[in-house]
């Protein structure tokens, strides 16, 4: 499992970290925003020889076309197998930069410097790498652990509020699946006003504990996917439309739908469903969509990676703080849960 370092002075800590490593070349992958907002925090300590690549920001660019550009850049720079790649950015940069590093010449080492809340609490840790393909989330990818993850809260100063909120969805997920006390101490009325440093550490510990027990998702790790079967379907369906949803915004919707399914299938009480709903809706509000969207969103769930043959398997809550997995759910039940979400009145 990768080493996770918490840094309070990223420039100094990265300088020290790189000083202890041997590599033939150093490559830095970032997106068009982190080039402007995050690179300046570390630029002065990077060796002059560092080669840099920036791709256009956003989920729309987490695809094969961008990977081709990254692999072309790596090839043109003459990177060999002793190259070290740094991914400086959010989950898109980490997932895609890591995937390109893990596949280039069958794999070069990489480290993640996550710069969004979402990537600090979740995406940078655990080695799930990949890209979207044919409209399906993370459809092509590998499991490869980074050499290290360096988390610095100072990057969050420039993060837009909607992106911070997107990351908060994964924080809520960590409490819901593994630790009821954690879920209940999170502030949701003034959700922006959290002790972020403690939250990042707590969430990383939950994620690490689960991944260490099941790195390649043959069982327990599936709980980290709570809210994601339906959430990913929403994210894919609205990607590139006027109603575009950030990953965490889509997962927030997915967690309500799947909490509803949990009351039908895995023993979550109606009182706890209402508690989950209240917290999520007070932070994220209610997302409006049309009845005509529901069949396509339902159908998108049939490509989820937890499915086997034609059976769709979900990770569902037994209670707040405990999650079960491998629970079969039908198209009809998925559709019902989406209509349930739709019918909620604020
Ligand atoms: N591998 C995993 O385990 C895992 C876990 C959760 C999510 N994900 C994936 O992560 C992606 C979402 O990650 P994300 O929310 O970080 O998205 P992202 O990488 O697109 O970053 C969000 C936006 O914030 C900008 N940004 C990043 N850092 C910034 C900073 N410090 N200041 C200002 N702007 C900044 C980015 O340029 C981008 O526009 C999705 O593709 C999702 O599928 C992967
Ligand atoms: O690390 C995991 O395992 C997760 O499921 C974490 C999720 O938050 C993350 O969005 C992940 O990328 C989803 O994986 P996928 O296998 O459903 O694509
Ligand atoms: Zn996620």
Q: Is the distance from CB of 114 to CB of 123 less than 8 angstroms? A: yes
Q: Which residue has the tokens 């997106």?
A: 31
Task: List the structure tokens of 34.
Answer: 């982190």
Q: What is the dihedral of CA 287, 193, 204, 82, to 10 degrees?
A: 90
Our mutation pick for probing the ligand 1 site, out of 91, 156, 166, 225, counting the most ligand atoms within 8 A of Cβ, is: 91
Give the tens place of pLDDT for each residue, 250-308: 999 999 999 999 999 999 999 999 999 999 999 999 999 999 999 999 999 999 999 99
Give the tens place of pLDDT for each residue, 75-84: 999 999 999 9
ipTM of model: 0.99
75 Cβ contact list (under 8 Å, min separation 6) = none
Distance (Å, whole) CA 294 – CA 336: 9
Q: Which residues of the chain have pLDDT under 70?
A: 346
Provide the β-strand partners of residue 150: 5
User: Residues near ligand 2 with C-beta < 6 Å?
Assistant: 122, 126, 128, 137-138, 170, 217, 221, 224-225, 228, 305
Decide: residue 245, CB within 10 A, 0-12 exposed, 13-18 middle, 19+ buried. Answer: buried
Closest ligand to Cα 207: 2
Q: Which residue has the tokens 């309070």?
A: 8
Q: What angle is formed at CA 306 by the lines to CA 283 and CA 108, rounded to 5 degrees?
A: 90
Residue 108: strand, helix, or coil: coil
Q: Which residue has the tokens 């999170």?
A: 186
Distance 255 CA to ligand 3 centre (A): 11
What are the distances in angstroms from CA 209 to CA 151, 205, 221, 316?
17, 6, 10, 19
Distance (Å, whole) CA 160 – CA 163: 5
Domains recognised in the chain with CATH numbers: 3-158 (3.40.50.1970), 162-343 (1.20.1090.10)
**Stated length of the chain:** 346
């Amino acid at each position: 499992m990768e080493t996770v370092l918490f840094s309070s002075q990223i420039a100094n800590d990265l300088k020290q970290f790189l000083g202890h490593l041997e590599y033939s070349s150093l490559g830095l992958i970032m997106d068009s925003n982190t080039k402007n907002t995050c690179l300046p925090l570390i630029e002065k300590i990077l060796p002059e020889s560092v080669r840099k690549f920036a791709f256009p920001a956003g989920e729309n660019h987490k695809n094969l076309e961008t990977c081709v550009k990254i692999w072309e850049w790596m090839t043109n720079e003459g990177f060999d197998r002793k190259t070290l790649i740094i991914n400086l950015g959010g989950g898109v940069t980490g997932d895609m930069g890591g995937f390109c590093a893990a596949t280039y010449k069958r794999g070069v080492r990489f480290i993640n410097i996550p710069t969004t809340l979402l990537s600090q609490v979740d995406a940078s840790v655990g080695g799930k790498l990949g890209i979207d393909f044919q409209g399906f989330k993370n459809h092509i990818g590998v499991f490869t652990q980074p050499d290290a993850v360096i988390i610095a809260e100072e990057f969050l100063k420039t993060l837009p509020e909607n992106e911070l909120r997107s990351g908060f969805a994964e924080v809520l997920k960590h409490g819901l699946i593994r630790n009821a006390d954690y879920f209940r101490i999170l502030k949701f009325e003034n959700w922006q006003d959290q002790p972020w440093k403690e939250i990042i550490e707590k969430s990383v510990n939950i994620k690490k504990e689960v991944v260490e027990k099941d790195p390649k998702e043959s069982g327990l790790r599936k709980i980290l996917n709570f809210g994601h079967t339906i959430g990913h379907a929403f994210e894919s369906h609205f990607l590139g439309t006027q109603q575009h949803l950030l990953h965490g915004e889509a997962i927030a919707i997915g967690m309500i739908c799947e909490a509803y399914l949990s009351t039908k299938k895995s023993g979550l009480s109606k009182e706890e469903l209402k508690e989950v709903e209240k917290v999520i809706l007070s932070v994220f509000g209610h997302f409006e969509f049309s009845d005509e969207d529901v069949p396509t969103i339902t159908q998108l769930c049939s490509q989820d990676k937890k499915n086997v043959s034609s059976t769709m398997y979900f990770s569902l809550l037994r209670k707040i703080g405990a999650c079960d997995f491998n629970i079969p759910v039908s198209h009809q039940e998925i559709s019902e849960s989406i209509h349930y979400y739709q019918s909620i009145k604020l």
